[in-house]
């Protein structure tokens, strides 16, 4: 059953970046010129320190706060925790584990994922407090619907519905010294990208696919999603090969910045290694960063 024919492309919401410690991630992301929000606790034992952008997307560095709580939640069926634990066991404490899309109806997304054979398990509903940079408090409530492919154990996808949206002003957190405005593109890798075309169509809600010799490209509502082979990774981002067996891996995030020259000076001052590839500045993955970061002029 194909349920995507009447569906509009989803909007990219955020990227989940597991890290061994939020302090490590905060230090690295600050060196890269990002403003990092205060830590926020999840009720199931993890916590994050997000990087918000003015285009509505964000990064979610994620660390384990209470291991026993996380393990208990995973054992009780929490898909988010089960997938996070599996990623950390297989790939280590630093990486890029999940890609998240915005949703207006996570229950409907779950029905779609079930109907197309890509559901990763039952939905997750939870709430958590939020404290902004001025100390103002609010309560947020979410429902998540999960999708995955058994052929790709090191990546999962979910949609995120804000059942109770945050009523706080986080504009100060959306201003970054690297002048980044948002996420322009997300890069995955696979030796034969077209093998995962159907999965990517379903999770993005985008039926149209651009196929070329380096892989496939799909347009989410607000960002590009590309799956590249080894030649594409090397040519566009300086990454040597897929560096893994078969199956999708999340590899890189491309940001739009208002001032590429200022970013270059910032990276030089912080002694951050980077490459200039075409019109991009490419920063290799590092501890606390999780993925390759590439920056393009807005």
Identify the pLDDT of residue 6.
65
Identify the pLDDT of residue 243.
57
Asked if the model's pLDDT at residue 2 lies above 50, the reply is no
The CA dihedral of 79, 83, 85, 88, to the nearest 10 degrees, is -160
Mean pLDDT over the full length of the chain: 93
Asked if the model's pLDDT at residue 26 lies above 60, the reply is yes
What are the boundaries of each domain within the chain?
Answer: 12-174, 180-297
Task: Please state the rounded mean pLDDT for residues 165-172.
Answer: 79
Residues 220-253 pLDDT 10s: 999 999 999 999 999 999 998 665 678 999 999 9
Residues 34-70 pLDDT 10s: 999 999 999 999 999 999 999 999 999 999 999 999 9
Q: What CATH code would you report for 12-174?
A: 3.10.180.10
| DSSP class per residue in 45-80 | SEEE--EE-TTS-EEEEEEES-HHHHHHHHHTT-HH
Asked if the model's pLDDT at residue 133 lies above 70, the reply is no
Residues 98-109 pLDDT 10s: 999 999 999 999
Work out the angle between the directed axes of helices 79-91 and 67-75 (0-180°, nearest 10). Answer: 120
Q: What percent of the chain is predicted at pLDDT more than 70?
A: 95
Task: Please state the rounded mean pLDDT for residues 285-292.
Answer: 96
Decide: pTM greater than 0.85: yes
130 pLDDT tier (thresholds 50, 70, 90)? confident
Identify the pLDDT of residue 4.
44
The C-alpha atoms of residue 216 and residue 208 are separated, in whole angstroms, by 10
What the block records as the tokens of 165 is 């949206």
83 touches 152 (CB < 8 A): no
Identify the pLDDT of residue 128.
83
SS3 content of the chain, % helix, strand, coil (to 5): 25, 35, 40
Query: What 8-state DSSP symbol labels residue 215?
Result: E
Q: For residue 39, give the nearest of 28, 25, 53 by alpha carbon.
A: 25
Topology of domain 180-297, per CATH?
2,3-Dihydroxybiphenyl 1,2-Dioxygenase; domain 1 (3.10.180)
Identify the pLDDT of residue 36.
97
Q: For residue 94, give the nearest of 181, 175, 21, 34 by alpha carbon.
A: 21
Q: Position of tokens 């952008």?
A: 53
Two domains, one topology: 12-174 and 180-297: yes
Identify the pLDDT of residue 164.
80
Identify the pLDDT of residue 132.
66
Identify the pLDDT of residue 245.
78
């Amino acid at each position: 059953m194909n349920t995507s024919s009447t569906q509009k492309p989803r909007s990219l919401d955020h990227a989940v970046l597991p890290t061994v410690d939020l302090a490590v991630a905060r230090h690295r992301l600050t060196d890269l010129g990002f403003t990092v929000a205060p830590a926020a606790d999840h009720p199931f034992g993890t916590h994050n320190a997000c990087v918000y952008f003015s285009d509505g997307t964000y990064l979610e560095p994620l660390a384990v706060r209470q291991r026993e709580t996380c393990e208990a939640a995973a054992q009780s069926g929490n898909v988010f925790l089960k997938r996070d634990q599996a990623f950390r066991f297989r790939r280590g404490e630093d990486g890029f584990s999940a890609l998240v899309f915005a949703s207006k109806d996570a229950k409907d997304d779950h029905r779609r994922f079930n109907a197309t054979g890509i559901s990763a398990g039952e939905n997750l509903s939870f709430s958590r407090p939020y404290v902004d940079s001025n100390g103002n408090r609010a309560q947020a409530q979410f429902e998540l619907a999960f999708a995955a492919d058994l052929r790709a154990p090191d990546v999962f996808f979910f949609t995120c519905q804000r059942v109770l949206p945050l009523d706080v002003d986080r504009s100060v957190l959306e201003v970054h010294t690297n002048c980044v405005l948002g996420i322009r593109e997300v890069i995955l890798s696979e030796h034969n990208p077209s093998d995962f075309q159907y999965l990517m169509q379903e999770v993005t809600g985008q039926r149209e696919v651009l196929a070329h010799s380096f892989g496939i490209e799909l347009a989410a509502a607000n960002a590009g999603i590309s799956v590249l082979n080894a030649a594409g990774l090397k040519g566009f981002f300086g990454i040597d090969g897929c560096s893994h067996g078969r199956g999708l891996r999340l590899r890189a995030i491309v940001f739009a910045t208002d001032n590429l020259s200022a970013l270059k000076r910032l990276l030089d001052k912080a002694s951050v290694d980077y490459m200039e590839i075409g019109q991009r500045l490419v920063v290799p993955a590092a501890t606390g960063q999780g993925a390759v970061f590439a920056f393009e002029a807005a």
